[in-house]
Chain A
Amino acid sequence: MLIYTLKRLGLALIVMVTVSLISFMLLRVSGDPAISLAGEGASNEEIEFVREQYGFDRPLIIQYFEWAGRAIHGDFGNSPYLNQPVAQMLRERMGVTMTLGICALSFAMILSIPLGMLAAVRPNTWIDRIALSISVMGQAMPSFWFGLILIIFFGVYLRWLPISGSDTWRHFIMPTIALGYYATPAIMRLVRSGMMEVLASDHIRTARAKGLRWPKILFKHTLRNAIIPVVAVAAVQLGFMLGGSIVIESIFALNGLGNLAWVSISRSDLPVVQAIVLLLSTIYIFLTFMADLCNAFLDPRIRSS
């Protein structure tokens, strides 16, 4: 287990470095930051001044190492637009996005695991069909459009829920549904196919022959085995949802990382965008790392391979 952990950790670190390099280069190479920072209609001298001021005239690789070196210590520099430390801005917004992500994942799990189980136990019945339609529709529904429909229906027509802001828990209900619904299909399909596979295996037949009660077979013997791949997918989905929260947060005016990213992108506030990309990637890498460890803990076969 220790060797496996170390291997995974090493891989995670290399991925981390590569991702940081890519996110730095990608945003730097796609345009001249000095021109956008100097603003529209700036003279050549002004642009040159900004370029020297921020060190954009030095080789990219040196700029990267400086940036990465400071980023390790949690220092992402100042936002040129707001003249505020980027790290502080991220800290302030982090809570909202994490809350949203975790709520959305919980919503997706609460919806998809029971439905997936029911669908697996009663394949080709109406419950299976409902589960299937939910999953097929979830994959085809644009999440931002779903969010707007929720606003029209629950916010404006029924007037049950507030439509924007992040002050109370009630503000999080619609964003949670809009974002969580997106992750439901993947988890549900996995639970269904996993359950069906385990239900058809020999040890379940033995358990039934032994006369064990059905709920015990279902939860202790089947779900436990079928849930292993779900752990990994749930972690991956949480990562995707944090990345996708940019769309949902902008619709519901939630004051989180996604909203900050969107605002910063529209005013070309490069250091903030780079920091958010790096932060979200780090969270994703951390989540998959934890999921790998979790899987290895649950399933000894993974450890040895």
Chain B
Amino acid sequence: MTPIQQQQFDSGLGLDVVFPTPGQIMRQRMMTHKGFIIGGVMVLMVFMVAVFAPYIARHDPYHQDLSNRMIPPVWSETGTWDHPLGTDNMGRDYLSRLAYGSRISLLIGFSCMAIAAVIGISLGLVAGYFGGIADMIVSFIITVRLALPAVLVAIAVVAIIGGSKHVVIIVLGCLIWDRFAVILRATTQQIRAMDYVQAARAAGCSVIWLMVREIMPNLFNSIVIVATLEIGRAILLEAALSFLGMGIQPPTPSWGLMISEGKDLMLFDPYLVTIPGVALFFLVLGMNLFGDGLRDVTSPEGRS
């Protein structure tokens, strides 16, 4: 952390009054917000695992070795350092699968969020900016989307088309845009009513310019906050889908799939279920803490 540089401000009274700039206030808030820091570090850790998966994994995550099945993790009596988290019932190294599984979770989380963001932001922006009929139509679309049971529809569609990474990403992305649309609609309505937007309109700016140059920059905070929460939601949904056998297909190492594969043996070897579950919990908790922290840090009143 660099020392906060302060801006000199001459009050005209001969006194040297020092005010921090808005950027400095935000940086200070970030550095003192525990949830934001902890969440950020947690997400960063998973990112590092995903990037350096080949170096963390000492075995091929797909390599089956039936002579080394069900080796327990290193902290139990019969565990070995060769397989720190043990092996599954096909003899695959659990740590390697966990490390490569983080790539799947992050990929799914970010791609679904990106699709959802494009759909949700466009709908929210149009509804909030134009109001009237456009608003009514978008609100109707949101209501319809919420009325559809997301998990059930996702599972059914993935099952019919056939599960693969791409199908899961597209189906989930098309189902979880609702929060983007709801929040962006409300925020756009607020910003649109501000004087500077009216001024830009009066100056003859086009609708596209107003949306992209005047309104969008102020939506950035809301978008990033919703995005982090949606990544967590997409990761959990993918895990649930894969757990039910309608998402990522074996032998790809997905955390939800690992839980599903370990489920039948969990009564004797609970580690098969607890380890990938803790990983999922860790990543989503980090994302949510980060998102909540970001909301506190960027909100004008700075909730603590």
Contacts and interface: CB of A to CB of B under 8 A. Distances in A.
Given A140-B232, A265-B156, A247 B244 contact: yes
Contact of B274 (A149, A236, A276): A149
A30 B288 contact: no
Contacts, number: 135
Given A19-B148, A142-B281, A31 B288 contact: no
Contacts of B155: 246, 261-262, 265
Nearest to B159: A265
Contacts of B212: none
Contact of B288 (A22, A136, A261): A136
Interface in B210-264: 232, 236, 239-240, 243-246, 256, 259, 263
Interface residues of A, number: 50
SS class, residues of chain A in contact with chain B:
helix
B245 A266 contact: yes
B56 interface: no
A250 interface: yes
Contacts of B266: 148, 151-152
A107 B156 CA distance: 29
Interface string B264-304: 00110010011001001100110111001000000000001
A23 B277 contact: no
B281 A145 contact: yes
Contact of B151 (A140, A243, A281): A243
B204 interface: no
A247 B243 contact: yes
Given A23-B148, A144-B259, A152-B267, A265 B277 contact: no
Contacts of B147: 15, 19, 239, 281, 284-285, 288
17 contacts: A11-B143, A23-B148, A23-B153, A36-B160, A136-B288, A140-B287, A142-B277, A144-B240, A148-B277, A149-B277, A151-B266, A156-B267, A246-B155, A250-B244, A261-B152, A265-B246, A277-B148
Interface of A: 11, 14-15, 18-19, 22-23, 26-27, 30-31, 36, 124, 136-137, 139-145, 148-149, 151-152, 156, 236, 239-240, 242-244, 246-247, 250, 258, 261-262, 265-266, 268, 273, 276-277, 280-281, 284-285, 288
